[in-house]
Amino acid sequence: MKTMMMADAKNKTPLPELMGRMYREQGVLGFYRGLEANIMRACVLNGTKMACYDTIKGHVVEATGWTRKDPRCQFTAAAGAGFFMTCTVAPFDMLRTRLMNQPTDKKIYNGFVDATVKIFRNEGPLAFYRGFLPIWGRFAPQATLQLIIFEKILGAAGYSSL
């Protein structure tokens, strides 16, 4: 509903009215449009974040001589992880948004695979990366704060850092 309200910002349809229309036109399942893209996105996002963060930390240590616990190393690795997160998640973000923003009275896409094929055929592969810089602009600081704070909490709890 939030995604639809953002797309409908000009009309400012009240939430109860939007929910009622969604339910009448698509039933309960209408509220779950884009769910499979959202789940896949979350899996790819977190897998990329942790794998890239650790790998980049290793490269930073080799290149600079900093330790893995050095905040400079953590910052550099987290910013790099944010870049790779954007590379892997941008297509899922675009697909999720398209699926969720379908009009309530008709379906443009019949699920994740159908949306992927139609967008690829009609708009080309680069369509999946529209908005790359704004997404990276969101992921880099988010990943940096999240991973550095995570490392500090691990240390405070008596665990060694990643």
Q: What is the mean pLDDT of residues 73-79?
A: 93
Residue-wise pLDDT tens digits, 6-32: 766 677 778 888 888 888 888 888 788
Query: What residue ranges do the domains of the chain occupy?
Result: 1-32, 34-156
Residue-wise pLDDT tens digits, 26-71: 888 878 877 887 888 889 999 999 899 999 999 999 999 999 989 9
Q: What is the pTM of this model?
A: 0.73
pLDDT for position 9: 66
Q: How many CB atoms lie within 10 A of CB 156?
A: 8
What is the CATH number assigned to the segment(s) 34-156? 1.50.40.10
What is the rounded CA–CA span in Å between residue 102 and residue 138? 25
Residues 6+ apart with CB under 8 A from 49: 81, 85, 143, 147
